[in-house]
Amino acid sequence: MRTFAIAALVVGALTLSACSKNRLDNEYGAGALGGDFVAGSPSDPKSPAYFQQTIGDRVLFAVDQSSLSAEGIELLTKQAAWLMENTAYTAVIEGHADEQGTREYNLALGARRASAVQNFLIERGVAPNRLQTVSYGKERPLEICSEESCYAKNRRAVTVLAAGGLVS
């Protein structure tokens, strides 16, 4: 008998919770409780994980170039839209270069790449005080090898999100 009473309580609680969700959905629209995703997960369109995995956080560059490719422009257009919609986030744009060339040259090239991304985002309406740039040159490679496939991955600018106040 005791097992039956516990089972009845569990079924009753589940029924009430379902009614509560349906009432909220009817009153405020479907998904009023946050939709079919876990907050902060890659399926949450307002999360940094979504930005990184669905929008994309990095733009690749050609050898010795800091100009944006068509693919880079497409990705940055999506980044700008996301940043305009999610104003609680600021971003640091990291400029990187491959291992070829001197440290000084690659730091300058990384800075130009980060600036190109920053300028594009600002042109699309992102407030300048929400964006910072930093250049790592060739100091933080994703891949280490003496092949073009590795070099290509290292020639990049990465938009790193941070929650909080405006960049000073």
Q: Is residue 72 one of the residues assigned to a domain?
A: yes
**Total structural domains within the chain:** 1
**Which residue has 């005080």 as its token pair?**
129
Residue 89 lies in a domain: yes
Q: What is the pLDDT of residue 41?
A: 76
Residue 16 lies in a domain: no
Domain at 47, CATH number = 3.30.1330.60
* pLDDT score of 29: 37
Distance of alpha carbon 56 from alpha carbon 49, whole angstroms: 10
Given a contact cutoff of 8 angstroms between Cβ atoms, the answer to whether 159 and 135 are in contact is no
pLDDT of residue 64: 96
Q: Is residue 49 part of a domain?
A: yes
Asked if residue 8 belongs to a domain, the reply is no
What's the rounded Cα separation, in Å, for the pair 56 and 9?
46
- 104: tokens are 């000084």
Domain of residue 141, residue span: 34-163
96 contact partners, CB below 8 Å, separation of at least 6: 110, 113, 135, 136, 137, 138, 140, 141, 154, 155, 156, 157, 158
**Would the pTM count as exceeding 0.85?**
no
Residues of the chain with pLDDT under 70: 1-35, 165-168
Nearest Cα to 133, choosing from 144, 124, 142, 120? 120
Strand 58-60 to strand 89-96: parallel, antiparallel, or no bridges (unpaired)? unpaired
